[in-house]
Structure 1
Amino acid sequence: MLLEEAAALPVEDLRSQARIARDRLDPVGVTLRFEERFAARSFRAWTDQDGQRHAHILFDDEAGAWVDALLQAALRPRRGPRFVGTDAAEKTRAADADERTNAQLQYDTIMAVLRTGANADPQQAFGDRQPGVRIVVEALPELPPTPPQSTVAHHPNPGFDHRRRHVLAASSARPRDG
């Protein structure tokens, strides 16, 4: 019984078991709850006051399970089981040397999947209006180095100069001249 197991289960497992128990007691409501979750699926993106892009996603059941499996696979080298085979030691060293956080690795995985999917057959996915980002690099005189106490985050590319690059358009729309 769930009540007896509650003290020994993590809250996530307890919630999952409670959901399963509810679905067994109310089989008619299972379909209704599924349809409500599907109808509530959404994606919302916004830019905060600092210019940082954010997104919030509500998944339907199938898409949520797919994304969970995708991200678990991306994190598997960190969580185990470790690599096996002739090049296991090399792969393990590469995984250990990766300085990204799990959240950054998950982000990079999602972006790689989106890019790969968009590039697989962009004509089918987007028709005539291909998505893209236009980056304008200003032709400015040489700037002095940024002082170390700067609040600007360090970019992994040492040649990157944040003061000279501006994302102009993050859509397929063309920017206005002028």
Structure 2
Amino acid sequence: MRLRVQGLYVMDASKRSAHGNAYFTGFGKAKRIVFFDTLLEKHTLDEIESILAHELGHFKFGHVRQMILQAAIIAFIGFAALYWAFGSETFAGWFGLPHDPGVVLIALLFAKEPVSHLLHPLLAARSRKNEFEADDFARRIVGKEPMISALTRLTRDNLATLTPDPLYAKFYFSHPPVPMRVAQLRGAVEA
């Protein structure tokens, strides 16, 4: 794995929040890893190294590229639906509405929410899978204990719950609950 990044950046997040975070972003020559200053202040060097390894895992597995492609496909489908709905009297007819561009746009905006609601669990599941992969990569690079410690500290510092409702978490969470991540790191469960 060879990674060329434009840099490791520190975001001055402490002016707005005590929340800690890090993320990998960009592609091509514009790749960056960003750490919140709050994360750097509250974590040990081993934990920071494990978080960096986690973000490098996102690069290794192409998660940013996959998410950009996924967003592009969803946008293409959305624009195709717009094109079809504006060009066809069928869509407005389904709802007993006149074929007027303003009415069609409003109907599409109302239809977007239920479709998004149905897609959300699928997209969230894919994101959780990516997080498990990046966690496992970090475990292989720096070991499980620094990653477990970092996840636990992040959860505590960010005032996140350790016991979310499992059904709610499956539907809405883009990251697996920390107890699941810890269990996965310890080898107790399968992703």
Superposition TM-score tier, normalisation by shorter sequence = under 0.3
Bigger relative contact order (CA 8 A; separation at least 6)? 2
From the CA coordinates, give the structure whose radius of gyration is larger: 1
TM-score in terms of structure 1 length: 0.26
Q: Please identify which structure carries the higher helix content.
A: 2
Q: Which has more strand, going by share of residues? A: 1
TM-score (norm 2): 0.24
